[in-house]
Structure 1
Amino acid sequence: MSDTGGHDPDSNELSPEQRLEPQNTRLINAGIVTIHDMETLRACVAYENANKQRVQILRRLEDRASEIRAQDD
């Protein structure tokens, strides 16, 4: 296994649209929890703000940002 901290390196290859557009909320949640860096998270927030502006999704992204920051500490 490569030095990726146990994360799937291909998960960062998903676009914000791929992460946030599935009709199934479980897939959206999976797309959010597989975000492991702030750059990807910011891209998803920007995508959501520019398109659907769903408060619940933005809250999940905010929670994920807090988790990522806590891991970096």
Structure 2
Amino acid sequence: MSDSSDQSAESGGLTPEQRLEPPNSRLINAGIVTIHDMETLRACVAYENANQQRVRILRRLEQRASEIRSQDN
């Protein structure tokens, strides 16, 4: 499953594949919005780069990263 149960709990228990491969874009957006930590976000970026490489999804992940960084300040 995941490397640690703490990471799974932090990310809502969803894998990058579950977040980025649902049947419609609304669910993908929901999966991205529910990312609350940079570790999960990086895992999703790595997954997307290794698989689909969809520019729209990568841009949305980049936007979410900016949102997370601004919340940390």
TM-score (normalised: structure 1): 0.84
Structure 2: runs of 5 or more not aligned? 1-8
**Number of aligned residues:** 65
- State the partner residue of 1:65: 65
* Structure 1 residue runs without a partner (length 5+): 1-8
1:31 pairs with 2:31 = yes
Moved over 6 A (4+): none
Instruction: Report if the CA contact (8 A) 1:45-1:61 is conserved.
Output: yes
Q: Give the structure with higher Rg (CA).
A: 1
TM-score, structure 2 normalization: 0.84
RMSD between aligned residues: 1.2
